[in-house]
Structure formats: structure tokens, C-alpha cells
Amino acid sequence: MESNQPVGYLEMIYNKLHGWLDTAVKMLPNLVVAILVFIFFLFIARFIRKITYSFSNRLSEAPAISNLVASIVYLIFLLIGVFIALNVLRLDKAVTSLLAGAGIIGLALGFAFQDLTANFISGIFITFKKPFEVGHVIETNGFTGTVSEIELRSTTMVTDDGLHVIIPNKDVFQKPIINHSLTPMRRIVLTFAIPMNVQLADAERIITDIVKGMKDVQPDKPKTVLFTGIDGVNNKALVRLVCWVSSSMPDAYDRVVHELVTQVVVKLKSASLM
């Protein structure tokens, strides 16, 4: 009885292997068709990727975005080929398991890397909407500087101090952006305090002459010098100066403000009006 046990095991193994071989022979045509289907979709995916890259590159003019879109389309067509090939092999349960596993993995990765995903999606929106471009002077998240690089995850800008500031695209996209390069002109508003015991009309005339003589002040925009109130504590009249400068030069605003303050103070003091 015990001597027949090894023979029974060998027969069981033989039958199992014979069954697998028989199934493999029967599935051989399906296997060939599945391989041909996968190869067909592989070539189709590569062809579609090239077309998608060219098309998206015309829209975004950003190689990173074009590569991303082309890769996503490529993977979609490749996965379609894999699922069809598995269906040809009658592996329906495997297809269902793959889809369920991909959904669970995608959900887990979405929760684990939600900040990274938010930055990534924000970078895509920034690239397509183009609220600013490389070389533009912008103000956002408390920083002002020149944009040096726009990536899918972050935006890099160089401040006037020479500091490289890297801001996540989520913060850039969700917060206000002031693009000074898209603003042709900026308004300058300065307020001076003039003693009440002097000739206010003379102070107004001096300030007006200074503004008119500034070469960087826009001549076609209104320039106003108006008394706006009284500082009763210090017994002074408040005069407001308003003018406009061009934003074509990054330092025009700061330079004109400096020259206006310097000339107004010097000339009012020399005339004993301050």
C-alpha cells in the first residue's frame, strides 16, 4: 500500500502537467492573437504620442507639458491594448483585478501626495493660461521679482536682492498675482505735509513744476497736486501728488519716486515752505 503512494503522486503530477500542456496548446492561437493585438496597439500608441506631442506643443509651447500629455495618451492606448490582449486570452478575472488594483493604488497615491498633485495640476493650469511668462516681473505671495523658470511643480523668481525664490505652483495659482510686465503704466501717489503758516499756493506751484519737469513721468496722463486734508495735531496741510510712469523699465517706479521726494523736499525747504 505504501509502495504505491509514490506512483500515485507521480501520476498526479503527470496529469497536472499534461493538463497544463493541453490547455497551452489549445490557447496557442489565442496567445498569438493577443501578442499581435498588443504589438498593434504598441505601434498605435507610439504614433499617437508623436501626434499628441506636436499638437500640445503648439498650444502650450512648453516641452514639459507636451511630454506629459503625450505620455498620458501613450499609456492609455497601451493599457487598452493590454486589456484587450488579456480578454483574448480569456483572462477576464485578471483584467478585473488589474482595474481594481489600479483604482486602489491611484486612490492611495492621491491621498498620500495630494500637495504634490495640487502643485502639478496648478502648474498645468499656469502653463496653459499663462498669467505670466519667463522674464515677467510679478508680485505674489509677498515676493516681487523676475520670473526665471516655470516648472510643473514650482515657479522660480529672482528678487531685486538677487535671491532665488521657489514658490509651489499651488500657492501661485490660488493667490493674487500682480504682473507688472503686463501693466503698461503705474501710478505714483505721494503725500507731503506742508506747514499751515506758509503760502500753500506757492507750495502747490513748486510741486507742480517739479512733476512737469520729470522726463520719466508720462506727459499724456493726468498729473494732480491737491490738498486733501489737515493734520490738526501738527498744524499742517496734507498735499497729495499723483502722476504716472511707464513700466517698460523695471526701476522706473522706484527711481521716479526717489527723485520726486528728493526734489520736492529740497525745493520746498529752500523756499522756506517746509
The amino acid at 241? L
Same domain? 8 vs 108: yes
Asked whether residue 105 falls in the same domain as residue 15, the answer is yes
Residue 226 near residue 220, CB atoms below 8 Å = no
Query: What's the chain's Rg over C-alpha atoms?
Result: 36
Q: Are residues 28 and 73 in the same domain?
A: yes
**Co-location of 106 and 8 in the same domain:** yes
How many residues comprise the chain? 274
84 vs 23, 59, 88, 92, 104, CA distance in Å?
20, 32, 6, 10, 21
Whether residue 21 is found in the same domain as residue 60: yes
Question: Would you write out the chain's pLDDT as a tens digit for each of its 274 residues?
Answer: 455 555 566 666 666 666 666 666 666 777 788 888 888 988 998 898 888 888 877 776 667 677 778 888 888 888 888 888 878 777 766 667 766 776 777 777 666 667 777 887 888 788 778 888 888 888 888 888 889 888 878 889 998 888 899 999 888 888 889 888 887 888 889 998 888 887 888 888 888 888 888 888 888 888 888 888 888 788 888 989 998 888 777 678 888 899 999 998 999 888 887 7
Same domain as 230, residue 199: yes
Distance CA 149, CA 123 (A): 12
Q: Could you tell me which residues are beta bridge partners of residue 146?
A: 137, 158
- Using an 8 Å Cβ cutoff, are 223 and 170 in contact? no
How are beta strands 178-179 and 137-140 bridged, if at all? antiparallel
pTM of the entire predicted model = 0.55
**Which DSSP category does 227 fall into?**
E
* Same domain as 219, residue 164: no
Provide the pLDDT for residue 3: 52
The pLDDT score that the predictor gives to residue 262 is: 92
Phi/psi for 183 (5° steps) reads: -100, 110
Judge whether 90 and 29 are in contact, CB under 8 Å. Answer: no
Q: Is residue 241 part of a domain?
A: yes
Q: Read off the CATH number of the domain in which 152 is found.
A: 2.30.30.60
Give the total number of structural domains in the chain.
3
Would you say residue 122 lies in a domain?
Answer: no
The CATH number for 241's domain is 3.30.70.100
Strand partners, 144: 139
Residue 254: domain span: 184-270
Same domain, 165 and 239: no
Per-residue confidence (pLDDT) for residue 1, from 0 to 100: 47
Check if the beta carbon of residue 147 is closer than 8 Å to that of residue 132: yes
Distance CA 11, CA 226 (A): 109
Sheet strands side by side (includes 224-231): 185-195, 236-246, 224-231
Residue 31 lies in a domain: yes
For the record, the C-alpha cell of 217 comes out as 513721468
